[in-house]
Amino acid sequence: MDKKYMERYWHTSSHILAQAVKKLFPDVKLGTGPAIENGFYYDFYREEPFTPDDIEKISKGMEDIIRQNLPVEKISVSKDEAKKILKDEPFKLEILEGIKEETVTFYRQGDFIDLCEGPHISSTGEIKHFKILSTAASYWRGDETRESMQRIYGVSFPEKAQLDQYLKFLEEAKERDHRTLGPKLDLFSIHPEFGSGLIYWHPKGSIVRKIIEDFWKDVHIKNGYQIVYTPHIADLSLWERSGHTGFYKENMFTPMEMGNKVFQLKPMNCPFHIIIYNTKLRSYRDFPIRWAELGTVYRYEKQGVLHGLLRVRGFTQDDAHIFCTEEQIEEEVVKVLDLVSFFLGKFGFTEYKTFLSTRPEKYVGSPDGWEKATIALENALKKKEMGYEIDPGEGVFYGPKIDIKIRDCLKREWQCSTIQVDFNIPERFALKYTDKDGSFKTPILIHRAILGSIERFFGVLIEHYKGNFPFWLAPEQIRVLPISERHLPYAEKIGGLLEPHFRIQIDTRNEKINRKIRDAEEEKVPYIIIIGDKEEEKNTIALRKHGEGMLGTFTTDEIIRKLKECQ
RNA sequence: GCCCGUGUAGCUCAGUGGUAGAGCAGCGCAUUCGUAAUGCGCGGGUCGGCGGUUCAAAUCCGCCCAUGGGCUCCA
């Protein structure tokens, strides 16, 4: 599918949508209607939201417009003329005011005309198959102080098969949704009545988490990090010192009063690592200092943004802080990027997007420091030959950063890895070290997370693998199924041999073998061992792989050797 | 936080003003089985919460809570 063509295609589709809406509801005011990654939307201003009935009518209206096969015509007019055309479209007029050029373009199809840069396809008849997918509210220009618009989403394709395929993709995505799969596979649960956005890790999910965390710690220690542990709460004064009570107040849980003290649940780990740093005078010889912690933080997120494991109120960051000199930034960032690609690759993610965010309007630190740090980050990205996009002015106020985003099943992007230079905290906590010449200097502080949050990463993992975790991560790796109760002792003997090497279960239920196989398959256990008279006689086992079926008959030693390679 | 939709058994859902339902799961009994659901039986619910309308509310109305899709925000 030609990307440029589909953009025009969807753009015209959105105009057809707008035309249908205008015809049915002449009082509706037009907002904007662009093509998006998968389809299109149009924003309308209307007091009443669109009902499912309205959507049905709009859909019919669109079919009419398509059937009429109206030519799409580009018209260039002066700004003054444009104002006249748009006299009843306040939102369009607002857009017009923002346009610098003296001549603007409109696109017309039949009796519908819209201020639009284009490009479009040549006639409405080219839109063959479309579907209105959903409606939602949105703020005009994304500004929550502005009008609330009614947004209608849709998708369209030249071929019916393409539309069907896309709708199938949406179905498939639903099946992969970690919010359904997680509880179904007994991995985790959420209990809104006892606090929304808080995750309960069940035994099976916890095993996966333990494997991830143990692996994470080992790799970090091998890569020159030291592990630290810090408290979950601290006196409010710590957060005043760090500045969080100012710039992060919105996201912090309300402080707790205990006697004459006030405690704050931590939204970040950094101030704690700083406290450790300040317990003694550091030397340039100590650098780089790399402290890592799987630190659980709590952030008060607005109700509407919570989303399964991907956006929660309590989560564990795979956090680390690197203290170094300005000259060491680049090398340290290269090392972090190495770790990022190692970890993400290990978990099966090879596609991700990298962003470099530069200095925003409001910032702390010196422009010179920002400049140097930003260049160091950029050089590191170049050295690693990582493609990246620059987000100008999107940096946090305290320093430039690199963000790496991976995609969930619905192609939503979620930030995992982040590498941030911080000019704020070293200043506020008066961090220092003794340099070669004996003078005191302020170190550079780099915050970084690779998986981001264990919860979010787990959610993305579930969707990525559709719950079929690779062998080394699977909560239950092998299930032994005796054909009848008679074979239970032999199954237990085999289980005993496998137990020291793998996470196994024996299905001792009084059920038919078909049922046991079905359940093991549905629970996505990677390997199934089946034991009956034949196996018992020859002292072998029958091996079946999840999703693939029978692999054959083997001895226990063979299985142990074979599967240990997959660990 | 904002807009719309949704909330009934552990799960998936039916039930539009008149005695709360199904399938799956759970429990009991029978069955001892060869590669994706054995049969029979039994329990199980303040119908999200609070208030209102009504002789009567799962059903109509209001508020609150939660959740879904978006917006804004973000690890």
Answer yes or no: is pLDDT of A141 > 70: yes
Catalytic residue among A299, A311, A335, A359: A299
**How high is the pLDDT of residue A534?**
94
Residue in A302, A218, A305, A234 with CA at minimum distance from that of residue A270:
A234
**How high is the pLDDT of residue A304?**
83
Question: Helix axis angle, A367-383 relative to A329-346, nearest 10°?
Answer: 40
Answer yes or no: is pLDDT of A19 > 90: yes
Read off the pLDDT of residues A297-329 as tens digits, 9 standing for 90 and up: 999 988 888 989 999 999 999 999 999 999 999
Answer yes or no: is pLDDT of A280 > 80: yes
Q: Which of residues 296-315 of A touch strand B (CB under 7 A)?
A: 299, 301-308, 311-313, 315
Query: Is the CB of residue A483 inside 7 Å of nucleic acid strand B?
Result: yes
Contacts 24+ apart (CB under 8 A), A174-178: A175/A466, A176/A409, A176/A462, A176/A463, A176/A466, A176/A467, A177/A308, A177/A409, A177/A463, A178/A308, A178/A309, A178/A310, A178/A408, A178/A458, A178/A459, A178/A460, A178/A462, A178/A463
Identify, with chain letter, the residue nearest to nucleotide B32 (CA–C1'): A484
Identify, with chain letter, the residue nearest to nucleotide B25 (CA–C1'): A184
Identify, with chain letter, the residue nearest to nucleotide B2 (CA–C1'): A144
Rounded distance in angstroms from the CA atom of residue A235 to the C1' atom of nucleotide B28: 57
Query: Mean pLDDT throughout A114-129?
Result: 88
**How high is the pLDDT of residue A13?**
93
Query: Is the CB of residue A500 inside 7 Å of nucleic acid strand B?
Result: no
Return the amino acid letter for A159: E
**Least confident among A6-15, A189-198, A410-419:** A410-419
Q: What is d(CA A23, CA A54) in angstroms, rounded to the nearest whole number?
A: 12
Residue in A508, A440, A506 with CA at minimum distance from that of residue A476:
A506
Read off the pLDDT of residues A421-434 as tens digits, 9 standing for 90 and up: 998 899 899 999 99
Name residue A45's beta-bridge partners: A29
Return the amino acid letter for A364: V
**How high is the pLDDT of residue A436?**
95
Residue in A420, A270, A449 with CA at minimum distance from that of residue A344:
A449
Answer yes or no: is pLDDT of A460 > 70: yes
Rounded distance in angstroms from the CA atom of residue A52 to the C1' atom of nucleotide B52: 29
Cα–Cα distances in Å, from A81 out to A31, A105, A114, A119?
Answer: 19, 11, 13, 21
**How high is the pLDDT of residue A1?**
64
A401 is annotated as an active-site residue: yes
Please list, residue by residue across A250-262, b when 16 or more beta carbons sit within 10 angstroms of its beta carbon and e when fewer do: ebbeebeeeeeee
A567 is annotated as an active-site residue: no
**How high is the pLDDT of residue A503?**
96
Enclosing H/E stretch for A518:
helix A513-522
Query: Mean pLDDT throughout A84-101?
Result: 87
Q: What is d(CA A559, CA A529) in angstroms, rounded to the nearest whole number?
A: 10
Which nucleotide lies closest to A547 by the C1' atom and the CA atom?
Answer: B36
Read off the pLDDT of residues A466-491 as tens digits, 9 standing for 90 and up: 999 999 999 999 999 999 999 999 99
Task: Report the CATH superfamily, name and number, of domain A3-161.
Answer: Threonyl-trna Synthetase; Chain A, domain 2 (3.30.980.10)
A321 is annotated as an active-site residue: yes
Catalytic residue among A8, A15, A22, A270: A270
Which nucleotide lies closest to A546 by the C1' atom and the CA atom?
Answer: B36
Rounded distance in angstroms from the CA atom of residue A548 to the C1' atom of nucleotide B19: 52
Q: Count Cα neighbours of A169 within 13 Å in the Cβ-side half-sphere.
A: 12
A270 is annotated as an active-site residue: yes
- ipTM, two decimals, is 0.89
Rounded distance in angstroms from the CA atom of residue A53 to the C1' atom of nucleotide B60: 21
Rounded distance in angstroms from the CA atom of residue A49 to the C1' atom of nucleotide B59: 24
Query: Is the CB of residue A403 inside 7 Å of nucleic acid strand B?
Result: yes
More confident residue, A349 or A343: A343
Query: Mean pLDDT throughout A383-391?
Result: 88
Catalytic residue among A54, A177, A319, A422: A319
Rounded distance in angstroms from the CA atom of residue A149 to the C1' atom of nucleotide B71: 9
**How high is the pLDDT of residue A415?**
84
Q: For residue A84, how many other CB atoms are within 10 A of its CB? A: 9
Query: Mean pLDDT throughout A108-127?
Result: 88
Query: Mean pLDDT throughout A115-125?
Result: 87
Query: Mean pLDDT throughout A434-448?
Result: 95
A324 is annotated as an active-site residue: no
**How high is the pLDDT of residue A457?**
94
**How high is the pLDDT of residue A410?**
63
Query: Mean pLDDT throughout A551-565?
Result: 94
Answer yes or no: is pLDDT of A262 > 70: yes
Query: Is the CB of residue A146 inside 7 Å of nucleic acid strand B?
Result: no
**How high is the pLDDT of residue A362?**
82
**How high is the pLDDT of residue A512?**
93
Identify, with chain letter, the residue nearest to nucleotide B49 (CA–C1'): A193
Domain boundaries, chain A: 3-161, 188-230+269-465, 478-564
**How high is the pLDDT of residue A303?**
83
Query: Is the CB of residue A134 inside 7 Å of nucleic acid strand B?
Result: yes
Are A15 and A112 within 8 A, CB to CB?
yes
Tokens linked to A456: 């979010």
Rounded distance in angstroms from the CA atom of residue A511 to the C1' atom of nucleotide B38: 8
Chain B nucleotides close to protein (CB under 7 A) are 1-5, 11, 30-38, 65-75
Q: Which of residues 525-554 of A touch strand B (CB under 7 A)?
A: 528, 530, 532-535, 542, 544, 547, 549-550
Query: Is the CB of residue A259 inside 7 Å of nucleic acid strand B?
Result: no
A475: three-class secondary structure by DSSP:
coil
Question: Helix axis angle, A454-465 relative to A203-222, nearest 10°?
Answer: 110
**How high is the pLDDT of residue A146?**
82
Answer yes or no: is pLDDT of A413 > 80: no
Query: Is the CB of residue A456 inside 7 Å of nucleic acid strand B?
Result: yes
Q: For residue A225, how many other CB atoms are within 10 A of its CB? A: 21
Which nucleotide lies closest to A50 by the C1' atom and the CA atom?
Answer: B4
Q: Does domain A188-230+269-465 have CATH number 3.30.930.10?
A: yes
Query: Is the CB of residue A317 inside 7 Å of nucleic acid strand B?
Result: yes
**How high is the pLDDT of residue A263?**
94
Cα–Cα distances in Å, from A230 out to A41, A206, A266, A268, A421?
Answer: 47, 21, 10, 11, 21
pLDDT band at A359 (very low <50, low <70, confident <90, very high): confident
Query: Under CATH, what is the fold of the domain A478-564?
Result: Rossmann fold (3.40.50)
pTM, to two decimals = 0.90
Query: Is the CB of residue A510 inside 7 Å of nucleic acid strand B?
Result: yes
Sign of CA dihedral A509, A513, A519, A523: positive
Read off the pLDDT of residues A504-534 as tens digits, 9 standing for 90 and up: 999 999 999 999 999 999 999 999 999 999 9
Query: Is the CB of residue A192 inside 7 Å of nucleic acid strand B?
Result: yes
Of these ranges, A142-151, A241-250, A496-505, the one predicted with the greatest mean pLDDT is A496-505
**How high is the pLDDT of residue A43?**
92
Read off the pLDDT of residues A31-55 as tens digits, 9 standing for 90 and up: 998 988 888 999 998 877 787 778 8
Q: What is d(CA A306, CA A232) in angstroms, rounded to the nearest whole number?
A: 22
The runs of H, that is alpha helices, within A347-416 are 367-383
Rounded distance in angstroms from the CA atom of residue A17 to the C1' atom of nucleotide B62: 36
Answer yes or no: is pLDDT of A409 > 70: no
**Least confident among A1-15, A202-216, A270-284:** A1-15
pLDDT band at A408 (very low <50, low <70, confident <90, very high): low
Catalytic residue among A151, A335, A359, A401: A401
Answer yes or no: is pLDDT of A565 > 70: yes
A50: three-class secondary structure by DSSP:
coil
With tokens 């690592």, the residue in question is A273
